[in-house]
Structure 1
Amino acid sequence: MSLRRLTRRFCLTGVLALLIVGWSLPTAALGAPANRVTATADGLRLDGRPWWPSGLDAYQLATDWSVNSGCGAMVDLDAYFAALPPHSLTRFDLFAQLAVNKNTGELDFAPMDAVFAAATRHDQMVIPVLSSGEGACESGEFKDHDWYASGWRAQVAAGGLTFEQWMRTAVSRWKSSPALAGWEMVGEPESSICGDTACRWQSRICPPDAALVLRHFFDTAGAVLHRIHRAGLIWSGLAGGGQCGTAGPQYEYVGGSRHLGVLDYHDYGSDGVPLPGDQWNGLAERIRQGAVLGKPVAVNEIGQGAGSCGSLAQRAADFRTKVSGQRAAGTATALFWAFVPDPRPDECTYDIGPDDPVFDLVADLSTVTD
């Protein structure tokens, strides 16, 4: 989710962080089943059974103001997961920034461990997102062309870690969680060149090798991840709307990386329309490209404003219409942006609060076939 769509309310060395992981795996994860979720051309499977999950984007689950700098408000994890039907899917931020204890400057995994533990207690599934393309709830810096070319291995960020080191740390620690549905390395990757110091999207330049750089990133970083979690499912995180590096046929080229198991699409601005977008970058074209590659397309962000600009009931009805058509067209998931524990009913926002009728829609949509 980009900063344009949301206003979101030092340290051990990388080597030491990796050593810590070696002896501090949560005991609840030891011996737990791995790779519960798999992807086929026909969709997702959970424990070997066809699975069509719905759920929510809940980016702030790992926020704990007593420990980390946070990303939004704190969430009652048990209350959140208990409100969802079993085997729902939640996508949340698992950023290195949230693993830094603001009081000590050292790595502290407790808030993140708590998310996996709560999801497991309530028989839920989660997709952890390891980094943000726009830098939201991290440094705030946009990840540009050079970051995908080599910076992910060289640039030191939160916790004294490069992205590669954080990915190794996170995957090693939580790869055996029974709640794990796979990994998203970067949310909405885009290999643009910044045209000004703020890297505003209006001034970004898309270089000729943008698709090559993104494909190389997924090939190389994906190989690193799979050396640690051999059969771990990698979700692309792509917005799918024609962004730099994935416009038109480039989406299929980048999505063809052998390490990507699921392709993504993010759906905003077409309320109640099942298949938004044009013939080059619309959802129908992404579904077609996914079929060519033999990979499912997950609609992992669906957002619509409500509050001062519309009723919660109407938004839920529009979501229902949209997802009914998408599912019939062959999509693999429907996740709604975004759960917050403190919705702002007097403003026009994407906020989905604890009592929102979207929770009832998720219950109606989520299925596991015997």
Structure 2
Amino acid sequence: MRSRRKLSWMVATAAVLTLVANVTPASAHPRVATDGESLTLDGRRWWPAGLDAYQLATDWSINSGCGAEVDLDAFFASLPPNSLTRFNAFATLATDRVTGARDFRPIDAVFAAAERHGQFVMPVLSSFDGACEDEVFKEYSWYADGWRRPSPPPAGETVVTEMPSYAAWLETALTRWKDSPALAMWDLLGEPEPLVGGLGGTCPRDAATVLRRFADDVGALARGIDPVHPLSLGTIGGGQCGTAGPEFRRLAESPYLDVLQYHDYGADGIPLPGNEFDGLAVRLEQARAVGKPLLVAEIGQYAGGPCGTAEQRAADIAAKIDGQRAAGAAGALLWAFVPDPRPLECTYDIGPDDPVRAVLAERNTVG
């Protein structure tokens, strides 16, 4: 009997090992991919019309926050099926604001809620200006090699330990969340601009070269950890340092950038803003030339108080999105959802009941 039991155990163990060996991580077959100048979901053409919701990982009991706390289940339940939400997944939001210890619960909660409601997220790993991080503008030297070094703790916080380098955070974030079924793609950095002297400073002659090398080096690091989910870089696209004119295409040619971005502000109701050198029409032509989708990842229009009604904004956004889709854009996200909108002030706030939410629901399509 003992020998038979041992044989049975060996057979069962072998079967289990075979089963484990054949299990494929969720990230091996991501639902979101690219097909030329389009995004796809489960192999079908996907045109996401969603929201930027930078505050989602705010948890005042744990981290230093980035805006107000959000009821995550209520937020994701309010979205149309197969929606895309871009949010801040910064290292500070996975850090205890008192002890400095790593605490992933706030960002884990965003992914978990998105998964429960069958939604998709686009995490932004860091931002150009240090907002909700160390409050330090990322200058030229940071793109050259500073992204490999640790950062000081957030200003005004009691944290005594330095924050991890951007490179270390990228490795941590991608390793932890790459298998989430809610992950659509990664946004490596919001609105990069390698200036000297801060915002409004000078643009070095080799800024485009430095930015392209940054995209290639960081992209290679990311691809080594997550070889399947699309990568993006949050360029404004309006002629900023390192991406002006033909420099945008040079950056777009990076083999590690799968989805290009344009951010659209100050052109209410106009589908294709900007000039003949750096406008959205030019960026769409450059995207077609390199065969990649271009996502209008931020569209901002003021509403409230003296800035007009939310209804007028919704009408302007509808005209803008329809024109951008017809011109070849691969999707559109609006800046920005907040749980506590200020209707008496001029803001970009989009609250839970904003009429523009219906515009997005009608235009978020698969197939």
TM-score > 0.5 by shorter chain: yes
Question: Which residue of 2 is the match for residue 250 of structure 1?
Answer: 247
Q: Does 1:175 align with 2:172?
A: no
1:268 aligns with 2:262: no
Give 2:68's match in structure 1, choosing from 68, 73, 88: 73
In structure 1, the gaps of 5 or more residues are 1-29
Question: Are positions 1:91 and 2:86 aligned together?
Answer: yes
**Does the CA contact (< 8 Å) of 1:307 and 1:348 recur in 2?**
yes
Q: How many residues are treated as equivalent by the alignment?
A: 334
What is the Cα-based RMSD across aligned positions, in Å?
Answer: 1.2
* Counterpart position of 1:102: 97
TM-score normalized by structure 2? 0.89
> In 2, distance between residues paired with 1:180 and 1:298?
16
Q: Does structure 1 retain, via aligned residues, the 8 Å contact 2:37–2:294? A: no
Measured in 1, the distance between the counterparts of 2:130 and 2:97 equals: 19
Q: Which residue number in structure 1 is paired with residue 229 of structure 2?
A: 232
Question: Whole-Å Cα distance in 2 between the matches of residues 264 and 39 of structure 1?
Answer: 14
Q: What is aligned with 2:10?
A: none
Provide the residue aligned with 2:304 in structure 1: 307
Unaligned runs of 5+ in 2: 1-23, 154-161
Partner of 2:357: 359
Residue in structure 1 matched with residue 191 of structure 2 by the alignment: 188
Question: What per-residue deviation string (whole Å, max 9, x for no partner) do you get for residues 11-57 of structure 1?
Answer: xxxxxxxxxxxxxxxxxxx9435522111223001111111101000
Shift of 1:230: 1.0
CA contact (8 A) 1:127 1:183 kept: yes
**Structure 1 residue 232, shift from structure 2 partner:** 2.1
- Highest CA radius of gyration, 1 or 2? 2
Matching residue's letter, 1:60: Q
Contact 2:27 2:178 in 1 (8 A): no
Match of 2:56 in 1: 61
Q: Structure 1, residues 304-355: CA drift from partner, whole Å, max 9, x if none?
A: 0000111000000000000100000000011000000011111100000111
Is 1:32 matched up with 2:35? no
What is the alpha-carbon distance in structure 1 between the residues aligned to residue 267 and residue 275 of structure 2?
A: 12
Counterpart check, 1:347 vs 2:342: no
Match of 2:117 among 112, 118, 122: 122
Aligned pairs for 1:281-360 within 5 A: 281-308=278-305, 309-360=307-358
SS at match of 2:145: helix
Question: Which residue is 1:48 aligned to?
Answer: 43
Distance in 2 of aligned mates of 1:157 and 1:171: 22
> What is aligned with 2:215?
218
| SS of match in other structure, 2:219 | helix
1:164 matched residue in structure 2: 167
Inter-partner Cα distance in structure 2 for 1:285 and 1:293: 13
Supply the AA of the counterpart residue of 2:351.
G
User: Aligned to 2:92, what secondary structure does the other structure show?
Assistant: helix
Contact 2:272/2:324 (8 A) holds in 1: yes
In the TM superposition, residue 157 of structure 1 has moved relative to its aligned partner by: 4.4
TM-score by length of 1: 0.88
Rounded Cα–Cα distance in structure 2 between residues aligned with 1:291 and 1:260: 14
Aligned partner letter, 1:77: L
Deviation at 1:59, TM superposition (A): 0.1
Mapped partners of 2:38, 2:253: distance in 1? 16
The amino acid across from 2:174 in the alignment is V
Contact 1:157 1:163 in 2 (8 A): no
- For residues 230 and 141 of structure 1, the distance between their equivalents in structure 2, rounded to whole angstroms, comes to 31
